């Protein structure tokens, strides 16, 4: 059964609510009116194989897709096992290395996502990407 636009909007709203709690220390990149929402670190960092300086290391974002809502969470790329331990039901929605696809409102586990965000912020602080 296809995911309705109404369901996707509810999922985006839930994810934004969780993410907004962590800005600051994270920095919001997209404007408030945008469908998606993006957070990044608050310290300039070298990124990519060329080590180009970016205003902040990418952290997480949301995006509405045709059949789901995507939640991209970059810290899991570096420590998947640690995050899996704090968010086992959320990890059932992981497709690839950093992208979670939510198709039902029930898939958004607020407790687990908050635990992931806190663990990710701790990791970013250790890396020097957040003050």
Residue 93 CA from chain centroid, whole number: 13
CATH topology for 5-127 is: 3.90.1150
For residue 106 the two structure tokens come to 């029930």
pTM of the model: 0.83
pLDDT in tens, the chain (131 residues): 677 888 888 888 899 899 989 988 887 876 555 567 888 888 877 777 778 777 778 889 898 888 888 999 988 888 878 888 888 888 888 898 889 999 888 888 999 999 999 999 998 898 888 88
Place of tokens 């290395």: 97
């Amino acid at each position: 059964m296809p995911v309705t636009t109404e369901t996707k909007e509810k999922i985006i709203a839930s994810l934004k609510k969780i993410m907004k709690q962590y800005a600051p220390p994270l920095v919001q990149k997209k404007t408030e009116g945008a469908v998606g929402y993006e957070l990044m670190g608050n310290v300039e960092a070298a990124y990519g194989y060329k080590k180009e300086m970016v205003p902040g290391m990418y952290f997480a974002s949301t995006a509405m897709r045709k059949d789901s809502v995507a939640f991209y969470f970059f810290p899991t790329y570096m420590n998947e096992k640690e995050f899996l331990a704090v968010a086992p039901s959320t990890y059932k929605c992981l497709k690839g290395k950093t992208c979670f696809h939510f198709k039902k409102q029930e898939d958004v586990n607020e407790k687990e996502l908050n635990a992931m965000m806190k663990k990710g912020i701790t990791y970013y602080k250790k890396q020097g990407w957040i003050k």
